[in-house]
A = this chain, B = another copy of it.
Amino acid sequence: MARAAKSSGQTGEAVEAAIAGDIQAGALPPGSWLKQIDLERRYGCTRTDIRRALDRLTTRRLVQHIPERGYYVCLPDDRRKAELREIRVILEMAMVDFLAATPEAIAELRRLAERFAEASAAGTHLERYESNREFHVYLTGLSRNRELAALIVDLRGHLPATPVMQWHSQARIEQSAAEHFAMVEALAAGDGPRLKALLADHIRQPTR
Contacts and interface: CB of A to CB of B under 8 A. Distances in A.
B56 A148 contact: no
Contact of A147 (B87, B145, B151): B87
Interface in A76-112: 80, 83-84, 86-87, 90-91, 94
Interface string A133-170: 00000000000011110010000000000000000000
A91 B80 CA distance: 17
Contact of A59 (B59, B146, B148, B151): B59
A52 interface: yes
Contacts of A80: 146-147
A40 interface: no
17 contacts: A52-B55, A55-B56, A56-B56, A56-B59, A80-B146, A80-B147, A83-B145, A83-B146, A83-B147, A83-B148, A84-B147, A86-B145, A86-B148, A87-B91, A90-B90, A90-B91, A91-B91
Interface of A: 52, 55-56, 59, 80, 83-84, 86-87, 90-91, 94, 145-148, 151
Given A59-B59, A91-B91, 13 more contacts: A52-B55, A55-B56, A56-B56, A80-B147, A83-B146, A83-B147, A83-B148, A84-B147, A87-B148, A87-B151, A90-B90, A90-B91, A90-B94
